[in-house]
Amino acid sequence: MSVLGRVRARPQATAGVALTLPVAVFFVVFWLVPFLAAIYLSFTDYEMAGTPNWIGLANYERMFADPGFLNSAWITVVYTVCTVVPTIVLALLVAVPLSKPGRLNRWLRALVMIPAVMPLAATSMVWVIIYSDHGMANTLLGLVGIDPQSWLTSSDLAIWALVVMVVWKSMGLFVIILTAGLQALPGEVYEAAAIDGSGAVTTFTRITLPLLRRTLLFVLVISVAGSMQAFVPAFLLTGGGPADATQVLPYYIWANAFPYEHMGYAAAMGMVLLVAMVIVSALQFGFLKGGDE
C-alpha cells in the first residue's frame, strides 16, 4: 500500500475503533468482568459485608448434597419441559394458518404479538389478578360448575399456574418467528406435492416440518434457554412457594445471594446453571448438524 493509501486508511480505522469502543467497554465492564468475578467467587466463602475466603470446591460439593438445590434443579427441569413443549406446539399450530397471505392474517399476527411485547413484570401482576379468588380463572371455572381453586397458594397448582402464564406470554414471539419460516419455504415444493396427490397431513409431516427444522430448532434453543433462566414469574407470583413448589433454580440462586448473603455458594450454582445451559444448547445444535448430514 502506498503512503497516500495508508494516510487515507487511518481515518477509517480510527472511525471504526471509535464506533466499536463503547460496545467493547460495555462488554468488558458489564459482562466479562462480572463473569470472571463470578467464577472466582464460586470457589470462595463470601458474604457481602466481608471478604472472599478461598475454599476450593467446597461450594460445589455442598451443592450436590443440598436438598434445596436438588429440588430447585428438578423443578427447573419440569418447568422447562412443561413450558417449552406446549409453547412450541401451540405456536406452530397458530403459525400455519397465519402464514397464509391476507389482510386479516396481518392483523391477527399483530394481535398475537401483544403478550410478547408486554413487560414481564406487568404481565405477572395481571396474572396475579387473574388467579385471585374472584379472578377470571375461578370465574370461568364457576361457569362450568367447578369450585374456585387456590392457584398460587396450592403446592399442586402453583407450578402449573406459572406454566400457563409463561406459555401465553411467550407464544406470540414464536408464532411470528415460525410464520416467517413458513413464508420462506419454497412454493414449488408444495405444488409438486399437490400434483402427486399428497394430503394435508402428509404434506405437513413430510415436507413442512423437515423444511422448517432449522427455524424450529432456533425456537427450541431460545425457548429452553429462557425457561432455564426464568426468575420473574416465580418471584412476583409465588415468591418460590408454596412449600418451595415453584422455587426454580434462578430463584434459589437469588435467595442464597441476597437474603442469605451466601454469595460464593450462589455463584457456584450460577456456574452450574450456565454449564447446563451450554450443554443443552450444544446438544440441540448437534442435533441440527446431524440432521443436515
| pTM of the shown model | 0.88
Q: How far is Cα 56 from Cα 58, in angstroms, rounded to an integer?
A: 6
Q: Is the pLDDT of residue 4 over 50?
A: no
Please calculate the CA angle 190-194-199 and round it to the nearest 5 degrees. Answer: 100
- Mean pLDDT check: name the lowest of 1-10, 93-102, 144-153, 203-212: 1-10
Torsional class of 92: left (φ above 0), alpha (ψ -120 to 50), beta (otherwise): alpha
Higher-confidence residue of 97 and 293: namely: 97
- Residue 75 and residue 227 in contact, taking contact as beta carbons nearer than 8 Å: no
Q: What is the CATH number of domain 63-292?
A: 1.10.3720.10
- Mean pLDDT check: name the lowest of 53-57, 61-65, 103-107: 103-107
For 146-192, write each residue's pLDDT tens digit.
999 999 999 999 999 999 999 999 999 999 999 999 999 888 888 88
- Domains of the chain, by residue range, sit at 63-292
For 180-221, write each residue's pLDDT tens digit.
999 998 888 888 888 888 888 888 888 888 889 889 989 999
- Residue 152 and residue 238 in contact, taking contact as beta carbons nearer than 8 Å: yes
Angle between helix 136-143 and helix 120-130 axes, rounded to 10 deg: 40
For 223-251, write each residue's pLDDT tens digit.
999 999 999 999 999 999 899 999 999 99
